């Protein structure tokens, strides 16, 4: 069994294989669907989403993965087991879904309730969850879980939600079932994230703008302080309420509509804490727009300085940092541009969790080593560091309907929905089936006809003229003949 550090660095196809195997070990049959939702890191634009401002996050190559099948018991219950061995969540679909004492289960519960409220009624499911998004790391493991659940329900019910509605349904789950009045950033980037792009999201109009982030010379390094962050303890809600008070005093619908001059003009009417909260938000919205411009222009020095300014403001005005996050930022600043660090800041809600650093790619190794050593010396804690390229949003990695659809469309050409998920997904699926067969050989049930035979049959059918169709067919034949991608 794969555990620990290696597991955290698995690619999505590797994770898919692993989760499929674990599902088969847990439930005694292969899964019907496998879906994944990434974690996120916010490059800049913190605590601006619930003020109608701008955010600039990206999805990262860490994932919550769910494998599922119809409930073998035939009961109207969704059971969700977790590979880490925490208690299973049992959601009875025949009774109204309520919050539960099992804290983690409230995220999927809220999502299932959201589907039901929209008239989409999933039947019983057996589900296995595995996540490499660090819990309490400020990389939004909770929203990843929500979006993962929603994606599985889409696959299982065959009802695809509109992406904005899907994100809002998941946000509502967080509000009502986890009790955190979060903004829309995390759920939006999980639904809409795009490979090699940051998402510049206008949280008022919900307009999305994708900012390319694909310069191989620079990378984003994520540093987990390993100090657990917790938003459910009231501090997050308090910040949100303070912002609302500030907007009221300023006479604007939200802090998005205020500027620094207006704030200064009203300073005497405000509690100093409320003033500082507003100063952070107003400044951060501006910094976010400048940073997006800086990234488009590959002006890394400017972007780095904006990140440091953001951190200072979150530390002093918004007061959501902590000693350990500050320690990482100070260490990064001391390494400086000469050592390969352009900028660094805390990311996410705060009170622990991760920082994100903009670094020169060729210096990642030395920077990581320096930060880890200095951080341990300063705090006595081991940090966890990893780089990530911007990843795609939530996806159905394996789904019966998708596979059937591909088969049906191979005869006529190629279905556009398969573009981008095709060759590698099929390669990954096939390898996974190989491994499942070896589990089957150890006594578990596995259907007679193998996936190889299915692929071979499909690949033998006439293929369309589109290059992607030809590519898929070539890949499928290669896999069928060689047993690997
Ligand atoms: C958390 C919330 F969920 C987001 O909506 C956002 O407010 C963030 O904190 C702070 O920028 O991740």
For residue range 425-453, what is the model confidence (pLDDT) as tens digits? Answer: 444 454 444 444 443 343 333 232 344 44
Of the candidates 126, 186, 326, 423, the residue annotated as catalytic is: 186
Asked if residue 20 lies in contact with residue 33, where contact means CB atoms within 8 angstroms, the answer is no
Please tell me if the CB atom of residue 137 comes closer than 6 angstroms to any atom of ligand 1. no
Q: From the alpha carbon of 50, which atom of ligand 1 is closest?
A: 7
Asked if residue 160 lies in contact with residue 128, where contact means CB atoms within 8 angstroms, the answer is no
Angstrom distance (rounded) from CA 88 to CA 67: 14
What's the pLDDT score for residue 479? Answer: 54
Sorted by where each starts, the structural domains of the chain and their CATH numbers stand as: 12-211 (3.30.230.10), 214-388 (3.30.70.890), 417-482 (no CATH)
- 324 Cα–ligand 1 center, Å: 19
What's the pLDDT score for residue 85? Answer: 83
Of the candidates 165, 158, 88, the residue with the CA atom closest to the CA atom of residue 123: 158
What's the pLDDT score for residue 476? Answer: 55
State pLDDT tens for residues 377-412.
999 999 999 999 999 999 999 874 443 343 333 333
Angstrom distance (rounded) from CA 357 to CA 345: 7
Asked if residue 378 lies in contact with residue 372, where contact means CB atoms within 8 angstroms, the answer is no
- 11 Cα–ligand 1 center, Å: 26
What's the pLDDT score for residue 345? Answer: 98
Angstrom distance (rounded) from CA 259 to CA 47: 16
Pairing state of beta strands 77-82 and 125-131? parallel
Render each residue's pLDDT in the chain as its tens digit; 485 residues.
333 445 667 889 989 999 999 999 999 999 999 999 999 999 999 999 999 999 999 999 999 999 999 999 999 999 999 998 889 999 999 999 999 999 999 999 999 999 999 999 999 999 999 999 988 888 999 999 999 999 999 999 999 999 999 999 999 999 999 999 999 999 999 999 999 999 999 999 999 999 999 999 999 999 999 998 776 578 999 999 999 999 999 999 999 999 999 999 999 999 999 999 999 999 999 999 999 999 999 999 999 999 999 999 999 999 999 999 999 999 999 999 999 999 999 999 999 999 999 999 999 999 999 999 999 999 999 999 999 999 999 999 987 444 334 333 333 333 333 323 344 444 445 444 444 444 334 333 323 234 444 444 444 444 433 333 445 555 555 555 555 54
What's the pLDDT score for residue 89? Answer: 97
What's the pLDDT score for residue 266? Answer: 98
Distant-in-sequence, close-in-space partners of 162: CB < 8 Å, separation ≥ 6:
none
Please tell me if the CB atom of residue 423 comes closer than 6 angstroms to any atom of ligand 1. no
What's the pLDDT score for residue 97? Answer: 98
Provide the b/e sequence for 189-198 (b: ≥16 CB within 10 Å): bbbbbbeebb
What's the pLDDT score for residue 427? Answer: 42
Q: What percent of the chain has pLDDT over 90?
A: 76
Residue 333, helix vs strand vs coil: helix
Identify whether 87 is a catalytic site residue. no
- 439 Cα–ligand 1 center, Å: 41
Please tell me if the CB atom of residue 189 comes closer than 6 angstroms to any atom of ligand 1. no
Please tell me if the CB atom of residue 43 comes closer than 6 angstroms to any atom of ligand 1. no
Please tell me if the CB atom of residue 49 comes closer than 6 angstroms to any atom of ligand 1. yes
Instruction: Give the side-chain half-sphere CA count within 13 A for 479.
Output: 30
DSSP state, residue 88: P
Q: Whose CA is nearest to atom 8 of ligand 1?
A: 349
What's the pLDDT score for residue 228? Answer: 86
Which residue is listed with tokens 């100070």?
330
What's the pLDDT score for residue 134? Answer: 85
Angstrom distance (rounded) from CA 479 to CA 485: 5
Structure tokens at 435: 């491994």
Alpha-carbon Rg of the chain, whole angstroms? 23
Residues 61, 62, 65: CA angle, nearest 5 degrees: 120
What's the pLDDT score for residue 136? Answer: 80
């Amino acid at each position: 069994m794969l555990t620990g550090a290696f597991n955290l660095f698995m690619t999505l196809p590797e994770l898919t294989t692993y989760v499929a195997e674990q599902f088969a070990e847990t439930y005694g049959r292969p899964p019907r669907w496998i879906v994944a939702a990434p974690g996120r890191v916010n490059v800049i634009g913190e605590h601006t989403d619930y003020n109608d401002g701008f955010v600039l996050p990206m999805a990262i190559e860490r994932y919550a993965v769910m494998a599922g099948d119809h409930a073998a018991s035939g009961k109207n219950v969704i059971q969700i087991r977790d590979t880490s061995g925490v208690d299973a969540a049992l959601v009875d679909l025949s009774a109204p879904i309520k919050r539960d004492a099992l804290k983690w289960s409230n995220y999927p519960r809220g999502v299932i309730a959201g589907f039901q409220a929209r008239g989409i009624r999933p039947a019983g499911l057996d589900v296995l969850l595995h996540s490499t998004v660090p819990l309490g790391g400020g990389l939004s493991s909770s929203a990843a879980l929500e979006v993962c659940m929603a994606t599985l329900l889409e696959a299982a019910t065959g009802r695809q939600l509109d992406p904005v509605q899907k994100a809002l349904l998941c946000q509502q789950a967080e509000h009502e079932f986890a009790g955190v009045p979060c903004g829309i950033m995390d759920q939006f980037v999980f639904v809409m994230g795009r490979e090699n792009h940051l998402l510049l999201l206008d949280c008022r109009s919900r307009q999305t703008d994708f900012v390319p982030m694909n310069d191989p010379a620079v990378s984003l390094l994520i540093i987990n302080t390993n100090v657990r962050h917790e938003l459910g303890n009231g501090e997050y809600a308090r910040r949100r309420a303070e912002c609302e008070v500030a907007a009221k005093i300023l006479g604007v619908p939200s802090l998005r509509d205020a500027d620094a001059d207006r704030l200064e003009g009203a300073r005497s009417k405000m509690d100093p804490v409320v003033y500082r909260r507003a100063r952070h938000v107003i400044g951060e919205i501006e910094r976010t727009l400048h940073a997006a411009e800086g990234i488009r222009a590959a002006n890394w020095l400017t972007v780095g300085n904006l990140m440091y300014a953001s951190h200072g403001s979150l530390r002093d005005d918004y007061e959501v940092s902590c000693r350990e996050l500050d320690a990482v930022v100070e260490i990064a600043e001391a390494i400086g541009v000469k050592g390969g660090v352009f900028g660094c800041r805390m990311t996410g809600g705060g009170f622990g969790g991760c920082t994100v650093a903009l670094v020169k790619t060729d210096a990642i190794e030395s920077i990581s080593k320096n930060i880890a050593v200095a951080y341990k010396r300063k705090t006595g804690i081991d940090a966890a560091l990893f780089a990530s390229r911007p990843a795609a949003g939530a996806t159905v990695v394996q789904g019966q309907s998708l596979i059937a659809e591909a088969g049906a469309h191979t005869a006529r050409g190629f279905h556009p929905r398969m573009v981008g998920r095709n060759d590698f997904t099929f390669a990954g699926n096939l390898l996974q089936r190989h491994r499942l067969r070896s589990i089957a050989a150890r006594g578990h049930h596995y259907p007679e006809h193998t996936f190889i035979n299915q692929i071979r049959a499909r690949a033998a059918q006439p293929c369309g003229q589109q290059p992607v169709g030809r590519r898929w067919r070539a890949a499928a034949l290669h896999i069928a003949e060689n047993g690997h991608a």
